[in-house]
Structure 1
């Protein structure tokens, strides 16, 4: 297992163009993982809605609910 410092040291030994390429690859992979996470959350929320675990709100109801949550002490 590499430490972050060791990984940076290895990357710094690469030519600049390869460092740039590596940064782009890592960023694209982060974006793809986040997309997959968002899609999974959406699938789970839709499934919960379909079995009645979640209810739908009008925009006004949702805003009121959020305001009540923010105004109430925990």
Structure 2
């Protein structure tokens, strides 16, 4: 398995155009992976909501709780 150092060394041997292509490919794949993670998290959250793990709250209650949490010292 390649180490990060080896991958970087190999990438620097590419032409500038190929390096730019590699950067774009890596960014796109990273974004796709992140979108998939967010979608999976959203699906799990919806499933949790439908099974009753979360209670119904008004938007005002949620905003108040968020504001209060911002004023609390970190643990």
TM normalised by structure 1 equals 0.87
Partner of 1:11: 11
Superposed displacement of residue 48, structure 1: 0.4
Please give the root-mean-square deviation of Cα atoms over the aligned residues, in Å. 1.5
Superposed displacement of residue 56, structure 1: 2.7
How many residues of Structure 1 are paired with residues of Structure 2 in the alignment?
Answer: 74
Whole-Å separation in 1 of the counterparts to 2:56 and 2:21: 45
Stretches (4+) displaced over 6 A: none
Within 5 Å, which residues of 2 pair with 1:60-71? Answer: 60-71=60-71
Structure 2 unaligned blocks of 5 or more: none
Structure 1 unaligned blocks of 5 or more: none
